[in-house]
Amino acid sequence: MVEAILEGFRVGAARVPGRPIVLRFLATAMRQADRAGEIADLALRHRDAGVVGFDIAGPEAGYPPGRFADVFERLVHASFHLTLHAGEGYGLPSIREALDLGAERLGHGVRIVDDITVDSAGQATLGRLAAYVRDRRIPLELCPTSNVHSGAAASIAGHPFGLLRQLRFRVTVNTDNRLMSDVSLSREFAALEAAFGLGLDEVEWLTLNAMKSAFLPFDERLTLITQTIKPGFAALRREQSEAAGPSVRG
């Protein structure tokens, strides 16, 4: 199955000449199953073919990732990238445990807001864990639409995305499960723009956050940033400027 998906990546990436699509694979084990070691072996076997990281998903409550500590230790020792679903359906202990096990990114991580207090004047104070996550630039793989569907947030407008972006956490925008949530990344951004008034500069910042956090070699990330992402946003700004037309001065 992994080899079939990777072959699909190769075919799709080459389909549009001059506009290559860069695709990579995360191998994900489920908390409620006892196959993390098998999935880890699968990921390591295909690490040079496009599998770039290991993830663990599924219900947080009652299924702590620490039960697979030996698997994570083996992957860290193999210098393999880790992202763990944590801090969606469960709170700060899930986030703390994920970091202790070697997670480089937090799948969801939205409950980090439980370690942030905002006073009546709007002044935010970060607890030790929240400050650690922000200071270390640990990426939060936020999935607003999925969070609304799962009950982790009441609405897009009420999602902690707004606070976390204002506090300059390493926020990224993700779809989680496109099938179950019936959402695309474009629609995810559109919903956030409607709720929070994102401008093009913020959309670019969020996109750069994602690429800086990607499980790709540094030179590949830098090339995509300088040759694709930044020129692409510059072109969008030119289009916006041309569509607005010349300004009229009295």
Residue type at 197?
G
Closest to 98 (Cα-Cα) out of 135, 131, 57 = 57
pTM: 0.92
* pLDDT per residue as tens digits for the range 7-51: 999 999 888 777 778 999 999 999 998 899 999 999 999 999 999
* pLDDT per residue as tens digits for the range 73-130: 999 999 999 999 998 878 899 999 999 999 999 999 999 999 999 999 999 999 999 9
Domain residue ranges in the chain: 25-104, 109-215
Residue 209 in 3-state DSSP? helix
Average pLDDT over residues 173-193: 93
Tokens describing residue 128: 């030790």
| 155 CB-near residues (< 8 Å, 6+ apart) | 148, 195
Average pLDDT over residues 220-235: 96
What pLDDT shows up at residue 249? 57
Which residues are known catalytic residues? Answer: 88
Q: How confident is the model at residue 245 (pLDDT cuts 50, 70, 90)?
A: confident
Q: How far apart are CA 126 and CA 114, in angstroms?
A: 9
Q: How confident is the model at residue 180 (pLDDT cuts 50, 70, 90)?
A: confident
What pLDDT shows up at residue 64? 86
Residue with tokens 């990281």: 53
What pLDDT shows up at residue 89? 79
Q: How confident is the model at residue 247 (pLDDT cuts 50, 70, 90)?
A: low
| 105 CB-near residues (< 8 Å, 6+ apart) | 82, 83, 138, 139, 140, 141, 213
What pLDDT shows up at residue 248? 57
Average pLDDT over residues 160-166: 96
Q: What does the mean pLDDT of the chain come to?
A: 93
Residue 250 scores a pLDDT above 60: no
What pLDDT shows up at residue 14? 86
What pLDDT shows up at residue 177? 85
How many beta carbons lie within 10 A of that of residue 177, not counting itself? Answer: 15
Closest to 134 (Cα-Cα) out of 159, 94, 165, 174 = 165
Q: How far apart are CA 144 and CA 157, in angstroms?
A: 9
* pLDDT per residue as tens digits for the range 207-220: 999 999 999 999 99
* pLDDT per residue as tens digits for the range 52-76: 999 999 888 888 888 999 999 999 9
Q: By the 8 A CB rule, do 143 and 190 touch?
A: no
